[in-house]
Amino acid sequence: MIPHHFKFATLICNAFYFEKVEPSIFSLHRSKQPAANAAYRRHRSTQHTEGATPWHASSTTRSPSSPAPPAASVWPPRNALPPKAELDAAVASIRDAGGAATGLRVDSTKLDELDSLYAQISEAHGRLDVLFANAGGGSMLALGEITEAHFDETFDRNVKAVLFTVQKALPLLADGASVILTGSTAGSSGTAAFSVYSASKAAVRAFARSWILDLKPRRIRVNTISPGATRTPGLLDLAGDDAAQRQGLADYLAAQIPLARLGEPEEIASAAL
């Protein structure tokens, strides 16, 4: 549980998102679930993720009698930042709920942009109490088709960006602060044609285990949340604009989960809090 006296938090998605929220710490911005991507590529994969809860899964093989997932586009758009209008809407929703928020679009793979962001936070507030590194993404290529560009793009976004997002925040993080990383069920389960992404998310889990020891003298906690299929725009957009395809995608994923439903963003937020 995060004490309510913490006032300053950074939430990082494909864009940076800085919030001052009292007493709530943060609100989840749009979350995209890479674990689901593997299940959608039926011509590539015969495996999917399945979990005891919608946000924590293990791997299992789809039987021949299982329904095939609906066709879907590749997720996510490469190096895409959310439109400013979308970020502004998220900020407005937090303010409407009684919080205070400021939204900034920053590419976390670019270290100079991280420097600029933290300089703004330092000038405005002087410290951070919660850092949520949530940016990430990936695409699917089977062993034998993997390119250097595919590897570099995935590891730049999912590993390098996470590392320097946290490292560059250290001077601002208060003693006793909380660092939260977004992992994936793919980081601990096998998925066909998704090995590079899976390895990148396994690296995130390894970061957390080691950083706990590095930051122990400052009492800074480091935790990883590993979501599975969660009902977000980024998930359903994989099926395109057709309502039937979108519902078919949701139904397919729900059928693979013991609770027979997708996770909800609020459940991920509750796990973080």
Catalytic residues: 197
Which residues is 224 bridged to in the sheet?
A: 181
Among 28, 11, 9, which residue's Cα sits nearest to residue 266?
28
CA 201/CA 244 separation, integer angstroms: 31
Judged by phi (left if over 0) then psi (alpha if -120 to 50, else beta), residue 167 lies in alpha
End-to-end Cα separation, the chain, in angstroms: 5
CA 10/CA 108 separation, integer angstroms: 13
46: helix, coil or strand? coil
Tokens of 246: 């979108």
The one-character DSSP state at 187 is: G
* Residue 106: other Cβ atoms inside 10 A: 21
Among 53, 31, 48, which residue's Cα sits nearest to residue 237?
31
